[in-house]
Amino acid sequence: MKSLAIYPGSFDPVTNGHLDIIERGLRLFDRIVVAILHNPSKRPLFSLEERVEMLREALKDFPNAEVDTFSGLLVDYAAQKNARAILRGMRAVSDFDYEFQLALMNRRLNRKVETVFLMTGLRWIFTSSSIIKEAASFGGEVEHMVPPVVHQRLKEKFNPSAAPE
C-alpha cells in the first residue's frame, strides 16, 4: 500500500521553507496531501482560494503532492484520508513547545495517527509566513524566500500598482 502523509498548516502564504519540507517528505512518503486549515475565526491575509491556488502553482512540479482543505480536527481528517502520518516542519527550538503540544494532543485524540517531524534546511531556519508578510508589508524584498507566484501576489496585496494589467 502506498504511504500517505498529511502536511497541515495555514500556508498564509506558502514559503520556500514549506516547499523544502514537502520535498524532504516526498523522500519518505509516496504521496503528500498539503492540507490547508479552513479556520473561520482567523483573518488570514490570503483567502482560502488564494492559498489553494498559490500552493497548486508552487507544487506543479511535484506530481506526488496534492492540495486540499480541511476544517475540524486534523486527526479526523488524517484518519479519513487513511494517512500514515502527519508531517510537520521544525525550524528552531522556538517551534518545539507548540509542536510538542500539538503532536501530543493529536496523539491523545487518536493513537493511530503518528506525527513525523522534519528539520528544514538551514537556509530557511529564520523564515516563517508571518515574518515574510511583515517584511513584504513594509516593502522589504522577500523574493528568495517564497515561490514566484507568492512573490507576485504579495506585491499585488501590498502595492496594488504592481498588479499585472
| Secondary structure (3-state) at 10 | coil
Instruction: Choose, by CB under 6 A, the member of 14, 65, 74, 118 that binds ligand PNS.
Output: 74
Q: Verify binding: residue 10, ligand PNS, rule CB under 6 A.
A: yes
Which of these is catalytic: 2, 42, 111, 144?
Answer: 42
Q: Which is nearer to ligand PNS, 10 or 152 (CB)?
A: 10
Cis upstream peptide for 148 (omega within 30°): no
Active site residue 18: yes
Active site residue 2: no
CA 128 from centre of chain? 10
Q: In what order do the strands lie in the sheet with 85-90?
A: 65-70, 31-37, 4-9, 85-90, 114-119
- Does the CA dihedral 34-97-110-42 come out positive or negative? negative
From 43-51, 99-107, 111-119, 133-141, span contacting ligand PNS (CB under 6 A): 99-107
Q: Verify binding: residue 44, ligand PNS, rule CB under 6 A.
A: no
Helices 48-58 and 148-158, packing angle to 10 deg: 150
CB of 125 to ligand PNS, least distance (A): 16
Which of these is catalytic: 129, 151, 153, 155?
Answer: 129
What would the x/- binding string for ligand PNS be over residues 22 to 41, using CB under 6 A? ---------------x----
Active site residue 94: no
Helices 129-137 and 148-158, packing angle to 10 deg: 50
Q: Verify binding: residue 73, ligand PNS, rule CB under 6 A.
A: yes
Binding-site size for ligand PNS (CB under 6 A) equals: 9
Q: Which residues are at the interface with ligand PNS (CB under 6 A)?
A: 8-10, 37, 73-74, 102, 105-106
Name the residues annotated as catalytic: 18, 42, 91, 129
